[in-house]
Structure 1
């Protein structure tokens, strides 16, 4: 049976996504079931020139004290962290800074800085390369800048498991709290890959949707007409605490992180194991870790990229775990694929799904693939009383991660 003592309280959310800046705005955007994909001027001239950007975001939103030294993915992470801390009714001036950790997942960190710097090198201008090129772009800087901004002096690091990074970060943060290493952990993911090199690379791999003439209907998770995902960006931070710590502060959790599971396919450097063995193992481990049975899961927020291989694999894994899979959704039809930030954004939305008893629809889903036997929420949100939900993430290298959330 379930063991509440191992659960971790989620007391705050902060989100920056193409659906909106802020957790509330993102939630409202998700419920519309409409895609945020548009033509992207920064990808002009490429075979695929569409993306899901955070339209109203500017690094200056974090303030002049920080903006000058932050690349886009880091600024998004800082803004999301500030919102999460406020949402959790925390005051950094009051906490024991040595007991506050930060764990951020990112798949590629930041490539935007390197484009300009490499051009200088190619033009034989090495002395013009910015002294901040490294500190603005390396993977750990999102976590480091959050610590600097909020005064969090506990364990601080980045994790990178490709498109599973944000989910892995939350699992690692959970472990820090269970081990007693921290009282509070800010955890999640941040990524900004709407740049020419990632776009060209993913296109060459055949991962991106080719519907450049109809961006709004490009990404179609689990649909028979799906042909790939749309690149995106964003960040999401969750505040994690042990339940007794939250209770001592007089704060009611939004939900609980009850289980975490991870595995590796050890099958291929990019393609998923078509039989879904690794994904099945991660999902099963997360449910077992939560002290639940598959039948206790009411909803799955899937990885659901809209690629031919991933969707088939994930459907097969879910059918292996659940004799009758619960209602599923994919957010990527609405906000695209934010790579390392995707799992964190999806985790935050899963928490809100449990809170509201409402499952956001899978945008652009019209006709389920005949080989995908799942109950897919599409077109409109679905009302459902839920006690537990699963969120899944899978990445290059065969990385698999899954989280189980329990309603508060």
Structure 2
């Protein structure tokens, strides 16, 4: 494809802007942004106990594509699911971005930033079970090397020939925003042309049981037809999910020069922490409010520019935090809010990046996605929760928020590239 001619002024402006040129994802909804959007339109997936282990807790299980056929590699197909999810998401994101990579086409100018909440939890659990049941000699070397947090990132690097910097961030439910922030920092370096922002997590019996033991759920989630309903009075806590999401980010001048489609602009991103109390978030929303203000400042945007919010809230406590923050930032009149976790579950570290991808797709469709299973509004709720897809012809900027345990926050603003 022929490169368009750019004036010096245009080139300088685009050099400072970050374009989203590819998105790939796999989760309880299937594969790809169209599958995710359609699942939300249809009211969400059916929550049921994970088929891979014994549990009475509902979940939103995902299934990795056949990597033997997709990537023509048997090694990747034997990797833990978290790595398989990561590889599939990266493949589809690169495909959409039109970037050809592989072991024979390695690239030193492409970086990878990987975020996760629990890492290879199933592999770690297997190691501890072997240690406790049979001693150190029973630990399998293959499982040990797959239990480190950087395993999915390293496998992606090897599979796709990514030879630029690799950064791994265990940032919990706010991993998506932290990955985007680090990608923004890397793209300020002249020798980094593109960054793959990747988040992945997998369901694990030990971690899901642990969440119940620390009372992350506010009620007994044993009814497989119920579960997390953010901003709904029936919200008893998260239905745990899994999967991966990858975004290809590159400087807009390079994306324009190679003629690829720009899906949206990452206009601003910020992260923060409220330093409130262990295992608790400040209920007045001060941490999230600060992150949103910093994000808007980074984007050189005002609150009035934001046309919609993709919510990062999961628990009842999160709802209190997010509503307080939004009412503060938007002077009592927040834009419409959509919360999708009641339809697809909470994909742990991948959840915030999935929200970011939905922000991009909302701009492309000029439509705010629906909030599945929202039927009984939380008492005292003053936000405009989008319950059915809402077409907004002038939708030019979407804010994605994230709220992590222990007061960790993130905010990312996506804009239509004009």
TM-score tier after normalising by the smaller chain length: over 0.9
Matching of residues 1-400 of structure 1 within 5 Å: 6-44=16-54, 46=55, 48-55=56-63, 57=65, 63-67=72-76, 70-92=79-101, 97-192=107-202, 194-208=203-217, 210=219, 212-305=221-314, 307-323=315-331, 324-378=333-387, 380-385=388-393, 386-400=395-409
TM-score (norm 2): 0.91
Deviations 1:54-78 (A, max 9, x none): 1465665655432365211111011
TM-score (norm 1): 0.93
Shift of 1:270: 1.6
Report the secondary structure of 2:309's partner residue.
Answer: strand
Between the aligned partners of 2:15 and 2:324, the Cα distance in structure 1 is 33
Deviations 1:236-295 (A, max 9, x none): 000000000001111120001000111111112221111111110001111111110001
- After superposition, the Cα gap between the structure-2 partners of 1:64 and 1:252, relative to the gap in structure 1 and judged at 3 Å, is closer
More deviation in 364-373 or 167-176?
364-373
Shift of 1:177: 0.6
Shift of 1:5: 5.3
- After superposition, the Cα gap between the structure-2 partners of 1:91 and 1:292, relative to the gap in structure 1 and judged at 3 Å, is same
Between the aligned partners of 2:389 and 2:33, the Cα distance in structure 1 is 17
Q: Is the 8 A contact 1:59 1:76 kept in 2?
A: no
Deviations 1:300-355 (A, max 9, x none): 001121x1111111111111101210011111101111111111111111111110
Shift of 1:24: 2.2
Q: Is the 8 A contact 2:269 2:412 kept in 1?
A: yes
- After superposition, the Cα gap between the structure-2 partners of 1:68 and 1:130, relative to the gap in structure 1 and judged at 3 Å, is farther
Shift of 1:213: 4.8
- After superposition, the Cα gap between the structure-2 partners of 1:22 and 1:122, relative to the gap in structure 1 and judged at 3 Å, is same
Shift of 1:180: 2.8
Shift of 1:197: 1.3
- After superposition, the Cα gap between the structure-2 partners of 1:214 and 1:63, relative to the gap in structure 1 and judged at 3 Å, is farther
Q: Give unmatched runs, 5+ long, in structure 2.
A: 1-12
- After superposition, the Cα gap between the structure-2 partners of 1:96 and 1:123, relative to the gap in structure 1 and judged at 3 Å, is closer
* Cα RMSD (Å): 2.0
**2:411 is matched with which residue?**
402
Between the aligned partners of 2:389 and 2:220, the Cα distance in structure 1 is 25
Q: Give unmatched runs, 5+ long, in structure 1.
A: none
Q: Is the 8 A contact 1:105 1:167 kept in 2?
A: no
Shift of 1:190: 0.5
Between the aligned partners of 1:398 and 1:362, the Cα distance in structure 2 is 24
Between the aligned partners of 1:134 and 1:120, the Cα distance in structure 2 is 11
- After superposition, the Cα gap between the structure-2 partners of 1:348 and 1:290, relative to the gap in structure 1 and judged at 3 Å, is same
Between the aligned partners of 2:235 and 2:378, the Cα distance in structure 1 is 9
Q: Is the 8 A contact 1:19 1:36 kept in 2?
A: no
